[in-house]
Amino acid sequence: MYWLFLAIFILVIMIPDIIRQGMFGMPQERVEEFFIFLLGMAGFLFFILKEHQLEIQRIEKIKEQRRLQQTSKDLVDSYSYIGEVNRKMDMLMRIGSDLSEGANMRNKKKSEVFDSIIEAALFLLKGEGASLIFYNVDQKRVVNEICSDRKCRLIKKKSDFFNMGENIYVKTIDNFMVFSSNRSIHGIRSYLVVKNFDEFQGQDNNNQEILKYLTVQALFLYSNFIDIIKGKTTKKS
């Protein structure tokens, strides 16, 4: 494009040598001025056209950079998601492997499984704290509680935690998300409470189903522990 400006510049300089007489009823000077004006307009139009092309190229470059940034972000998000899924699978496989021991599980191992369930709840819902509560529905009292902060100060128990409607095993109370077992054993029902959970993760059906399942498994594990204690008591008597 720049060679056009050079050509126009040369023509403007050579106009007096090219035009040696008047034309169209105009004197030579007016004809020269007219052609210089036309060449100037042509140069100006070429300049505007070039500037427009550069602006289009600049916009396309910005769009391409944004596409690359979005692609890079999507790639990072994909790797993060894959990493999170892998960690989730490892965690569930570890818990599942521990639960498969059933009645043969030692008390220390059971405690580790309860801790793993709480860890899974915190990881899946990105919560600030979690508590696994075993509640006697007949006596309306908590018989055992296992918390992420050990001293169970992070989550203050509310009576609303244990007031689940019929066939409702997940509910939100203020900044708490509560999961309940779908049955009671020896009058005891298990509840998994997560504090300050991530709303997006909390609405994920997969996360809800996983935590409902773990809440039920925690109850089975705890009831097995109670059966062992009762069995020992019966033998002594």
Q: 220 and 113 share a domain?
A: yes
> 110 and 195, same structural domain?
yes
Report how far residue 218's alpha carbon sits from residue 115's, in angstroms, rounded to the nearest whole number.
10
Alpha-carbon torsion, ordered 91, 211, 217, 181, to 10 deg: 170
Q: Say if residue 16 is in the same domain as residue 126.
A: no
Residues 53 and 126 in one domain: no
184 and 126 both lie in a single domain: yes
CB atoms within 10 A of CB 163: 12
Q: Tell me, yes or no, whether 73 lies in a domain.
A: no
Task: Classify residue 111: in a domain, yes or no.
Answer: yes
Whole-angstrom Cα distance, residue 123 to residue 43? 66
- For residues 31 and 148, membership in a common domain is answered with no
Domain membership flag for residue 85 = no
The three-point CA angle 183-144-209 to 5° equals: 40
Does some domain include residue 88? Answer: no
Residues 46 and 128 placed together within one structural domain of the fold = no
pLDDT for position 19: 67
Q: What is the domain extent for residue 29?
A: 2-61
Asked, for residue 93, whether it belongs to a domain, the answer is no
Tell me the two tokens of residue 17.
């040598």
Residues 45 and 133 in one domain: no
Q: Structure tokens of 73? A: 């972000």
pLDDT in tens, the chain (237 residues): 566 666 766 766 666 666 666 666 667 677 666 667 676 777 777 778 888 888 898 899 988 888 888 888 877 777 777 777 777 777 777 777 666 665 566 666 778 888 888 988 998 999 988 999 999 988 888 888 888 886 677 677 677 788 887 788 999 888 899 999 988 888 899 999 999 899 999 898 988 998 998 999 899 888 876 654 444 433 444
- pLDDT the model gives residue 115: 87
Q: Are 130 and 57 in a shared domain? A: no
Residue 221 is assigned to a structural domain of this protein: yes
pLDDT of residue 132: 92
Query: For the whole model, what pTM was predicted?
Result: 0.61
pLDDT in the model for residue 157 = 67
Number of domains in the chain: 2
Please give the pLDDT value at position 178. Answer: 93
Domain assignment present for residue 71? The answer is no
Query: Are residues 150 and 231 located together in one domain of the fold?
Result: yes
Write the CB contacts of 32 (distance below 8 Å, at least 6 apart in sequence).
15, 16, 19
Asked whether residue 218 is assigned to any structural domain, the reply reads yes
The CATH number that applies at residue 218 is: 3.30.450
Quick one: 14 and 128 in the same domain?
Answer: no
